[in-house]
Amino acid sequence: MLKLSKLALAIALGTTSSLSQASEIDDLQKQLQLLKQQMQQLQTQLDKAEQQAKQQAAQQEQIDAQVAKQQKQLEQQTAAVDSELEKKESGIRVGGAVRTNFSHTSYDDGNKNRGGDFDFDIFRLNFAGDVGDVQLNAEIRFFDYMTAVKYAYAAYDFAEDWQVQAGITKVPFGNWPYNSHNYFFGTTYYVGLEDDHDLGVLFKRKIADNWQIDLGFFKNDELGGVDGYVDNRSDRYSYDVVGFRDADEGVYAEPTNAIGEYNTFSGRYGYHFEHDGGTTELGVSALSGGLHDGEDKAGDYMAWAVHLNSTIGPWNFQLQHGEYDYDIDNVNRMAVGAYSFYDSIAAEATMTNANIAYSLPVEWGPVTNLQFYNDYGIIYDKSDNSADTWMNVTGVSVAAGGLFTYFDLVKAKNQPFVGGSIAGDSDETETRFNINIGYYF
């Protein structure tokens, strides 16, 4: 009985064990089947991702090809535009002006009796343009009584902030570009220290880091110096010394002692800073050179000035003070030439200028801007002991399309073009009302 029970127990245990193993196998098979399904799903997803990647790669290739095509087309179009612009910008552009002048003066009885005179002033041509990397600029002026080249130079930008000019170019000195606002310039113009142009080389640093500098070397004046091949050494636009005066020589006489400027070094430094309403330049200028009589050195000359040019909103203020000195033994009066006549200046003198202007934009038909101004200049402490020269110009300039007109009321004493000379000794204050009308094209 006991044996049968043990046998039954063993059979029961074996059956249970077999059932348990069978169940585990089934579970493993189910898990394996699930893993196979998951792997198939993953493979499907991988195949799908790979297919999408291939499609995206193909699309990217198409996009890259299209971008490359568009880029090539853009480069071709840009090259064509640049070529066209180069064709348009290359070469020389021509402009100019025609000006007429009305004047009513206190020092010319005939002019007063006629109620003033209306005359032709100038016809001028300006040339400007680029040939390759070289810039070319020139201006020639035609008067009734002479023809004069104001400037003619080639320029090249040899560095980011630097330009070199060679030819008849502007001597850097004083407030730039002019020490005045009116048609008659300032008193400094008539001693050769405003808007003067000579033959030489000029290095210009553009405004960067708030400062600029101009350094020039001028071999001689624009007519070739003391022995230049010209018929009349006074046929020029800007004033230069052309001789020195003997004690008995007339103020307006052709000089018997011819001299010319040579080997002149000139420098101008300006510091610019911004402030509320505008900008201001503070500057200093100096020049030094020799004087030659055609055979030997006759002497030296120098000049210096400190200057301010400030714009505050519509206002502009200019101040300048300096001295010049032509150093020739036993000489205290020099001969100068310009506008086809000779004049005289003291060999040494002090100069001061104070100018103010107000610009007013308007919309009066073709009139777009008015500038009101008062410019005052004086030359004093003269080596020839002549009386002071002073000039005050009150006026307005009118911009109207291609027309630009100055209306000037000039009060002056011992001033060229206002009934006197800088070497004059008059006590009379003269008056000139002047209208200069110019058409610029």
Segments making up each domain of the chain, as ranges: 1-89, 96-440
Do 212 and 248 contact (CB within 8 A), yes or no? no
Give the N- to C-terminal CA distance of the chain in Å, as an integer: 141
Q: Could you state, in chain order, the average pLDDT of each consecutive group of 10 residues for the chain (441 residues)?
A: 49 50 70 78 77 71 65 63 56 95 97 97 97 96 97 97 98 98 98 98 95 98 95 97 96 97 98 95 98 97 98 98 98 98 98 98 97 98 97 98 98 98 96 98 96
pLDDT for 87 equals: 52
**What is the 8-class DSSP label of residue 379?**
E
Minimal CA–CA distance to 198: which of 155, 229, 255, 236? 236
Q: Give the CATH number of domain 96-440; options: 3.30.565.10, 2.40.160.10, 2.40.50.140, 2.60.40.10.
A: 2.40.160.10
H or E stretch at 280: strand 278-292
pTM beyond 0.75, yes or no? yes
pLDDT for 9 equals: 47
* Measured CA angle at 351 (ends 348, 355), to 5 deg: 165
DSSP track, 191-227? GT-SS-EEEEEEEEEEEETTEEEEEEEEEEETT-GGG
pLDDT for 285 equals: 98
pLDDT for 69 equals: 65
Do 438 and 423 contact (CB within 8 A), yes or no? no
State the Cα–Cα distance between residues 316 and 321, nearest whole angstrom: 17
Report the chain's C-alpha Rg in angstroms. Answer: 43
pLDDT for 1 equals: 47
Half-sphere exposure of 324 (CA within 13 A, CB side): 26
One-letter amino acid at 41 equals Q
Q: Residues, the chain, total?
A: 441
pLDDT for 280 equals: 98
